[in-house]
Structure 1
């Protein structure tokens, strides 16, 4: 990339960062005001003013149901929605043989629709075999389990990604069967990447289908339905544009080869899928896309999906990749020597800057991951996520949970002990962050790792929900139970924004030291 192109990309990134709605806004907390510093992009993205402004100026004034095709509003809205579909197809190199289907509820809705379209229960020939990758999200596990079809999991290679030798052996043993492989392009837990083209080519050499979950990877990685590499085409991909910068509210997307679908009936019948309906009979449309988008679609969400893909392309995948590599290297170097901070996953594997970790207190005991998440939010305003990130099987691997321990955990959880749920803290560093914000997050994690044991005593927990709150209710501003959805006419009012995170961090560290000192004095007295 030319230096001028790099400079332009940085300028655009700076502009978009300044348009992130809510970024660094000051919110009250139990330890005083703190900025909202968002590090949970792996779960959901953040709204951006230019996309919201486009929706307000170009979509909403003439918004109408896209099934109303003869009016100005319906026609224009339909054009915008199809323009979004075209944008997604172009970005993902989808051709005429591919169908781009909006699925409303993200990648979860897309994978469920895909499984229905594959019509696994054909009743002819040997039972199909489903191959899943080593670090799948529940949405790429549970729907397959519910089919009742045999499932085998490909183990993780020592260098990260699916073990290609193990995959080859499974494919050879399954010769003569219908084999369907569904793998994550990137782990939503550790960020580890899969060589999608190499795996696709191997699968196709054995006659297997290659389906790809890009939910965690799509905001950062290229998606190529039809690459030039021989045999590396994708039979289907599915992803969640709501995870992109600017993505909240965007619909899920499923792209698949039309030839995979043999069933003439929609997976979900409804309005807009038929050519004719009488009191006695009905006929469905031939077009796959129309047949699979029953009812009034999530119109604005569909358009938004196209817009965030366009925004990602404007920033540039090369720019994103360079920044991602820099951020991952930076965080690993900063955290690798922090006492009490346990980073999970293969640090040597090629990966996105998505991190999961656990923290031990001074006694060597793990501080509950939900409490650490609360500490990061309460003390510094850093928004992370606690839990297993909807990747239970991968959690068993990362946390070395034995079959016996798993059975015990299940019993405790089903008995209502939510605290027993295993997990970690997950956060990611986004390319949209500037260095000041990255340093703030890195320093906040280091500080909490060093002081979690001191903070534990200030919190209480409800074991039925595993939610921690500050013990002193008098300094905890509870979220109001009522009135959150009231409209006052002053909804555009903005909060104060923190412009100097470095000073904010230093001030908070000093104030917390005073809290700890007061605690020591109280105990001595």
Structure 2
């Protein structure tokens, strides 16, 4: 598949938007959070929707078409993941998060918080408590902790692959980082072999790559270690699935028991459902499905119900996300049509270019190991200035306003890993936690993240690097023109601009404007000219700011908050 053709098909590729410094063409570098839609895919989906109907029937043409298309979509996913012979595909609504929830339910681990609380109250109020003179609920928790299932997770997990297990009945054991900043395989082996886990159900659930630093896990090596120690091998591919091969049954004898990921992060994938692919041996169809309802049953009467024997059918309670599943399959298939070798080659080249550019820049701190061979092209960085950091949300705002670059600031839903990357110990973590619980989010540590995507041109990548380099050298000057909300942590230019009409006018009436309107193709923008213009304008503005720059940094009114301030600001609202 030709990348030049694909680029022109990206929805919003040459979209201009207003900023305090004039109009900017959008340069999207936030693929780690979500992919971009493709015009030809959207058109194809419109064609499919001419036959749209609910599944669960093949007695009329619409039901027959949609039921068969859904099955074909699942078959595509299986084929692309080499999962046809022994795996089930299960769709989940909320991306990888929904998929890992479904996995934990299938494994019998997830216990809904409200159910857990009701169960606790029933036991606490039971006469059994008085009879045995014990807190039976606490005894049960202790028993589960000591003898129940145990889930081993990695040191750079997304919150979804941490919290779902913490909220389950399992004990959660974290494997540490090794001295080079990667998953410590020796620690994994040692903990799996620990005698206290020998008779317990053991499950490993590891990120295939970090959504913060992009560092990759040796998935099949980890799977082999897990299987050698009678553990189930599960992997979160949310960050890396758009860029790497997923093979459930490689020829070397290794195999994966379960994978989950978010096709909305793929090129062409926005709007797709989450996907869980599991080895058939994990599914017990002698019990009820994880969600009971219409579409899961063979027969229901006053006396009982019989569920479908096919797990893929019995896990489709209600109306499936038919179009979402179809879109997921198309996005996954497209990745392999583009070619993994081409994707990996470009992302290696772009990652290396970033590392080489900033290797000796004292103001730019790149998080995590730097070897581009061991990363997908997800890069998180910080910018320092005179002993403090530029706030990551300020950096993201400058990238947007000065250059049109879309990035993301924060902790990337990877708090525990972030603690290690930023050197935040337990004591300081609790301090930050207390501050944030008081709704002071401006002090929450974080970084800025970009993704140098394979659809970018060399020109795009150079521009993004030029923009970051500019902010590293001159970004502090723009503190004169921006203000921070000391409660929320958001940054805005002191001269606010109107929200775009899409926000102000959102509603069904605005959609009427598109009646009888063809799919719009934006005119092709000469990005080289635009990029040079933005960089020149930014430099001219920086020179003007040098003249008026005061360096008159302000402080929090509260001395306690001030003692933990790690960034500078000049203008602020919501003083605290």
TM range (shorter): over 0.9
State the partner residue of 1:149: 170
State the partner residue of 1:260: 282
**Relative to structure 1, is the Cα distance of residues 327 and 519 closer, same or farther in structure 2, using a 3 angstrom cutoff?**
closer
**Relative to structure 1, is the Cα distance of residues 100 and 131 closer, same or farther in structure 2, using a 3 angstrom cutoff?**
same
1:429-463: CA deviation from partner (whole Å, max 9, x where unpaired): 01111111111111111111112101112111223
Q: Relative to structure 2, which stretch is displaced further, 349-358 or 371-380?
A: 349-358
**Relative to structure 1, is the Cα distance of residues 493 and 30 closer, same or farther in structure 2, using a 3 angstrom cutoff?**
farther
How far the C-alpha of 1:66 sits from its partner, in A, is 1.2
Do the aligned residues in 1 keep the contact of 2:260 with 2:276 (CA within 8 Å)? yes
Unaligned runs of 5+ residues in structure 1 are 1-8
State the partner residue of 2:536: 510
State the partner residue of 2:273: 251
Correspondent of 1:501 among 518, 527, 531: 527
Matched, 1:355 2:379: yes
How far the C-alpha of 1:498 sits from its partner, in A, is 6.4
1:184-243: CA deviation from partner (whole Å, max 9, x where unpaired): 11111100001111110111011111001011111011111111223x211100111100
**Relative to structure 1, is the Cα distance of residues 502 and 158 closer, same or farther in structure 2, using a 3 angstrom cutoff?**
farther
Q: Relative to structure 2, which stretch is displaced further, 130-139 or 332-341?
A: 332-341
How far the C-alpha of 1:333 sits from its partner, in A, is 0.8
Aligned mates of 1:479, 1:295 — CA distance in 2: 37
Do the aligned residues in 2 keep the contact of 1:133 with 1:183 (CA within 8 Å)? yes
1:147-187: CA deviation from partner (whole Å, max 9, x where unpaired): 14211111122345321111110111032321100001111
Q: Relative to structure 2, which stretch is displaced further, 425-434 or 491-500?
A: 491-500
State the partner residue of 2:150: 129
How far the C-alpha of 1:522 sits from its partner, in A, is 5.4
How far the C-alpha of 1:261 sits from its partner, in A, is 2.0
Matched, 1:24 2:14: yes
State the partner residue of 1:179: 202
How far the C-alpha of 1:497 sits from its partner, in A, is 5.2
How far the C-alpha of 1:492 sits from its partner, in A, is 5.3
SS in structure 1 at match of 2:13: coil
Query: How do residues 210-289 of structure 1 correspond to structure 2 at under 5 angstroms?
Result: 210-230=233-253, 232-262=254-284, 264-289=287-312
Correspondent of 2:212 among 189, 206, 224: 189
State the partner residue of 1:33: 23
Q: Relative to structure 2, which stretch is displaced further, 421-430 or 514-523?
A: 514-523
Matched, 1:471 2:494: yes
1:496-523: CA deviation from partner (whole Å, max 9, x where unpaired): 6563333223222332333344445557
Do the aligned residues in 2 keep the contact of 1:339 with 1:449 (CA within 8 Å)? no
RMSD of aligned Cα (Å) = 2.0
Query: How do residues 62-141 of structure 1 correspond to structure 2 at under 5 angstroms?
Result: 62-120=51-109, 126-141=147-162
Aligned mates of 2:88, 2:174 — CA distance in 1: 28
SS in structure 2 at match of 1:234: coil
State the partner residue of 1:372: 395
1:473-497: CA deviation from partner (whole Å, max 9, x where unpaired): 3xx2334553123223336575865
Query: How do residues 6-25 of structure 1 correspond to structure 2 at under 5 angstroms?
Result: 9=1, 12-25=2-15
Aligned mates of 1:177, 1:121 — CA distance in 2: 17
1:416-439: CA deviation from partner (whole Å, max 9, x where unpaired): 001122110001101111111111
Aligned residue-pair number: 509
TM value normalised by structure 1: 0.93
Query: Which structure has the higher relative contact order (CA within 8 Å, separation 6+)?
Result: 1
